């Protein structure tokens, strides 16, 4: 399903100028700094802003354009804001049912029991809104949006108002939702971590324009990726996570590659998981140093080398399963090892550096 | 202790009728107007807001005077009505009703405007995304969340109409059963040196005014503490 938008909007000194087609299978992240126009674009998609001359088409439905305008109430979009969007005069059940009751029965695909199960909100059903924690509120807001069986889910920085602990608590639910609800999701965020954990595709926004839309894996193998601005280069591996062994290590398997990580705790999900590996946590060696505490020692082949001006070099390599692994090392070490395109070497990654959940969310 | 004459009762009934009609009309007009003022983007909003607030600063006689000119037999509206075979509106109940509506407008619009501003647009937008149309949103989201504003707007409009004097006297005069409301009757009693009758009615209005203000402030406090 594609979403086509053409819109120009002037708000004082800020201009939004968008003319893009978004493929919307799975999760598409709309990524950019605060004030770059992400939320405005989201509001245009929702029909909450309707600049003159704009055109918004979702699949074969024209939501805006050529004199037609479909109001939000008829677009069947699920909308989740940063915070405080639950109706305070209704309890949790009343909020969840608000949209469900207004969805024509023949269009209802999701129902209360399965949504409560998915988001773990069954025990909250009879609570008042002011008796919920921030994380519980966001889960209820997500559930309420899902219960409209929307054809598109718009999430406007749904984690931004939550503390680190609560973000960790909610992230697994978002991951599950993105995989199991079978609704295309457009996620507005300025946090690379959220993109890397959730998105299949990312649209980079800057200064009111969408600069490019690319698959996450492509965005993560580009040395100048805006996702690397804060934390440096990151690789994302997809694989399955096993139960912890007697020493508390879990096996993360991705094709013929296996890593060991500490038990992330929480609800374990045998389905596909993502493992984030920061480039600065990866060590490269020419020979496998067996007498070393590092558990994860993986053979890789160097694919590209990018030396920056700051004395750091980004080494993009391929694991034996074909997934990319990025290592950030000093240019001095790069020279010393003589690494070039095609060089085989061993990547060393401490299990502790991979500790899930939510490394890199600290201090935000 | 209080003995009301039949003419007092006529005035009381007329006053209550005027108050109820005015309140009803003001809620019907004031709600969309206040919503537009609170959430619209039109550059005209400031001008409209100022016009609505005019009765707060103008002497009621000025308002009544212009209405008399406008609604009277030679006025723009009154004259047009005469021309199509109807009667002009000076010295009629409709005339004082129009005066009351304009005169009490700020007391309905202001509390609603504040309630809608405090509500913000988030909940309304969420309700729209959940499939609720405009009328559905009004009754299931806006009204329950701004109840306090509506109670205050209604009580203040009603009470302020009871306290109206100058504008009514100008446009309506003092016709028993038609335009002679309590405040005018009290004036007539006092003019006629009938202080006992004037006193009874004044006391009645005083008690009522206190009660209304008490309700308004109690509601205000309750909604301040309940709403986070």
A261-275: per-residue pLDDT in tens? 887 765 555 566 888
Structure tokens at B5: 């004459």
pLDDT of residue B118: 92
pLDDT of residue A356: 58
Structure tokens at B181: 């409301």
Q: Above pLDDT 70, what percent of chain B?
A: 96
CATH assignment of the domain containing B198? 1.10.3720.10
Confirm or reject contact between B218 and chain A (CB < 8 A).
no
Residue B180 forms part of a structural domain: yes
Q: Which of B119, B126, B133 to mutate to test the interface with A (most CBs of A within 10 A)?
A: B126
Structure tokens at B210: 């206190």
Q: Is A73 in contact with B129 (Cβ distance < 8 A)?
A: yes
Report yes or no: B91 and B164 within 8 Å, Cβ to Cβ: no
Q: Is B144 in contact with A89 (Cβ distance < 8 A)?
A: yes
Residue B98 forms part of a structural domain: yes
At B8, is the secondary structure helix, strand, or coil?
helix
How far CA A104 is from CA of A82, A94, A181, B124, B165, in Å, comes to 28, 18, 19, 20, 55
Q: What is the dotted CATH code of the domain comprising A2-219? A: 3.40.50.300
pLDDT of residue A271: 60
* Structural domains in chain B (count): 1
Say how far apart CA A302 and CA A311 lie, in whole Å: 19
Q: Above pLDDT 70, what percent of chain A?
A: 95
In the numeric block, the tokens 């700020």 are attached to B106
Confirm or reject contact between B43 and chain A (CB < 8 A).
no
Strands A27-31 and A185-189: parallel
Tell how many helices (H) and how many strands (E) occur in chain A.
Answer: 9, 20
Contacts A130 to B, Cβ<8 Å: 228
Confirm or reject contact between A102 and chain B (CB < 8 A).
yes
Q: What is the dotted CATH code of the domain comprising A235-353? A: 2.40.50.100
A249's enclosing H/E stretch is strand A249-254
Structure tokens at A21: 């087609």
B81-122: per-residue pLDDT in tens? 888 888 888 889 999 999 999 999 999 999 999 999 999 889
B219's enclosing H/E stretch is helix B195-226
Cis-peptide, bond into residue B98, ω within 30° of zero: no
Backbone phi, then psi, for A239, in 5-degree steps?
Answer: -170, -170
Closest CA–CA distance from residue B144 to any residue of chain A (Å): 7
- The DSSP result for A40-73, as a single string, is HHHHHHHTSS--TT-EEEETTEEEEETTEE--HH
Report yes or no: B161 and B104 within 8 Å, Cβ to Cβ: yes
Say how far apart CA A331 and CA A309 lie, in whole Å: 9
pLDDT of residue B39: 86
A216-263: per-residue pLDDT in tens? 989 998 888 898 888 889 999 988 888 888 888 888 888 889 998 887
Residue B89, domain extent: 6-226
Say how far apart CA B20 and CA B27 lie, in whole Å: 11
Closest CA–CA distance from residue A76 to any residue of chain B (Å): 7
Residue B22 forms part of a structural domain: yes
Within 13 Å of residue A269, how many CA atoms lie on the same side as its CB? 17
Residue B1 forms part of a structural domain: no
Contacts B128 to A, Cβ<8 Å: 71-73
A352 DSSP assignment:
G
B27-73: per-residue pLDDT in tens? 999 999 999 999 888 889 999 999 999 999 999 899 999 999 999 88
Contacts B141 to A, Cβ<8 Å: 87
A158-208: per-residue pLDDT in tens? 888 888 878 877 887 888 888 787 889 999 999 998 898 889 999 999 999
Say how far apart CA B195 and CA A189 lie, in whole Å: 74
pLDDT at residue A359 tops 60: no
Contacts A63 to B, Cβ<8 Å: none
B210-220: per-residue pLDDT in tens? 988 888 888 87
Structure tokens at A131: 């008796």
Interface confidence (ipTM) of the complex: 0.81
- Secondary-structure breakdown of chain B: helix, strand, coil percentages, each rounded to the nearest 5: 80, 0, 20
Say how far apart CA A89 and CA A128 lie, in whole Å: 8
Say how far apart CA A11 and CA B146 lie, in whole Å: 30
Confirm or reject contact between B226 and chain A (CB < 8 A).
no
- In the structure, what pLDDT confidence band is assigned to residue A301 with cuts at 50, 70 and 90? very high
Residue B36 forms part of a structural domain: yes
As a dihedral over the C-alpha atoms of residue A237, residue A238, residue A243, residue A247, rounded to 10 degrees, the angle is: -10
Where are any strands of DSSP class E within A77-228? 77-80, 152-156, 185-189, 201-206, 209-215
Confirm or reject contact between B125 and chain A (CB < 8 A).
yes
- In the structure, what pLDDT confidence band is assigned to residue A64 with cuts at 50, 70 and 90? very high
Confirm or reject contact between B211 and chain A (CB < 8 A).
no
pLDDT of residue A41: 94
Report yes or no: A188 and A202 within 8 Å, Cβ to Cβ: no
Tell how many helices (H) and how many strands (E) occur in chain B.
Answer: 12, 0
Contacts A148 to B, Cβ<8 Å: 129-131
Whose CA is closest to A184, among A30, A338, A332, A303? A30
- The DSSP result for B17-67, as a single string, is HHHHHHHHHHHHHHHHHHHHHHH---TTHHHHHHHHHHHHHS-HHHHHHHH
Contacts A102 to B, Cβ<8 Å: 130-132, 136
Report yes or no: A79 and A145 within 8 Å, Cβ to Cβ: yes
Q: Is the pTM of this model over 0.90?
A: no
Say how far apart CA A137 and CA B126 lie, in whole Å: 14
Residue B129 forms part of a structural domain: yes
For chain A, give every domain's residue range.
2-219, 235-353
């Amino acid at each position: 399903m594609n979403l086509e938008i053409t819109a120009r909007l002037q708000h004082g000194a800020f201009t939004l100028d968008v003319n893009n087609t978004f493929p919307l299978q799975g999760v598409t992240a709309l990524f950019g700094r605060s004030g770059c126009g992400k939320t405005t674009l989201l509001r245009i998609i929702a029909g909450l802003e309707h600049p003159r001359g704009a055109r918004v088409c979702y699949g074969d439905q024209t939501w805006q354009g050529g004199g037609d305008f479909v109001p939000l109430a008829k677009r069947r979009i699920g909308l989740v804001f940063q915070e405080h969007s639950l109706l305070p005069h209704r309890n949790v059940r009343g909020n969840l049912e608000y949209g469900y009751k207004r969805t024509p029965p023949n269009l209802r695909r999701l129902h209360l029991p399965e949504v409560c199960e998915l988001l773990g909100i069954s025990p909250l059903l009879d609570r008042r809104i002011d008796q919920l924690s921030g994380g519980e509120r966001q889960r209820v807001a997500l559930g309420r949006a899902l219960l409209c069986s929307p054809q598109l889910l718009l999430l406007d920085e749904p984690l931004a108002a939550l503390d680190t602990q609560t973000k960790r608590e909610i992230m697994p639910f978002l991951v599950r939702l993105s995989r199991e609800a079978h609704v295309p999701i457009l996620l507005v965020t300025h946090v690379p971590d959220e993109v890397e954990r959730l998105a299949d595709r990312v649209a980079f926004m800057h200064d009111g324009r969408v600069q490019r839309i690319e698959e996450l894996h492509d965005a993560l193998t580009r040395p100048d990726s805006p996702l690397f601005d804060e934390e440096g280069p990151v690789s994302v591996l997809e694989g399955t996570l096993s139960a912890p062994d007697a020493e508390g290590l879990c096996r993360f398997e991705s094709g013929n590659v296996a890593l060991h990580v500490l038990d992330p705790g929480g609800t374990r999900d045998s389905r596909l998981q993502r493992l984030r590996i920061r480039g600065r946590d990866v060590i490269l060696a020419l020979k496998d140093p067996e007498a070393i505490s590092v558990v994860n020692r993986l053979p890789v082949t160097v694919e590209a080398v990018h030396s920056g001006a700051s004395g750091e070099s980004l080494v993009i390599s391929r694991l034996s399963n074909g997934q990319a692994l990025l290592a950030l090392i000093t240019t001095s070490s790069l020279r010393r090892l003589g690494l070039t395109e095609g060089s085989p070497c061993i990547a060393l990654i401490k299990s502790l550096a991979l500790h899930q959940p939510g490394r890199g969310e600290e201090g935000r | 202790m209080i003995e009301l004459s039949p003419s007092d009762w006529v005035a009381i009934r007329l006053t209550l009728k005027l108050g109820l009609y005015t309140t009803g009309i003001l809620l019907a007009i004031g709600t969309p107007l206040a919503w537009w003022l609170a959430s619209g983007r039109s550059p005209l909003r400031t001008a409209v807001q100022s016009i609505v607030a005019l009765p707060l600063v103008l002497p009621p006689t000025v308002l009544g005077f212009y209405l008399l000119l406008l609604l009277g037999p030679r006025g723009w509206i009154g004259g047009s009505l005469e021309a199509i075979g109807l009667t002009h509106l000076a010295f009629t109940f409709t005339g004082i009703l129009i005066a009351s509506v304009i005169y009490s407008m700020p007391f309905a619009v202001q509390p609603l405007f504040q309630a809608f501003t405090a509500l913000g647009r988030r909940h309304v937008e969420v309700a729209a995304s959940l499939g609720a149309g405009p009328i559905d949103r009004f009754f299931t989201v806006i009204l329950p969340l701004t109840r306090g504003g509506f109670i205050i707007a209604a009580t203040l409009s009603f009470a302020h109409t009871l306290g109206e004097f100058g504008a009514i006297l100008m446009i309506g005069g003092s016709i028993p059963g038609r335009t002679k409301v309590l405040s005018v009757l009290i004036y007539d009693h006092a003019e006629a040196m009938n202080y006992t009758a004037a006193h009874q009615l004044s006391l009645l209005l005083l008690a009522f005014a206190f009660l209304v203000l008490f309700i308004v402030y109690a509601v205000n406090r309750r909604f301040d503490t309940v709403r986070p």
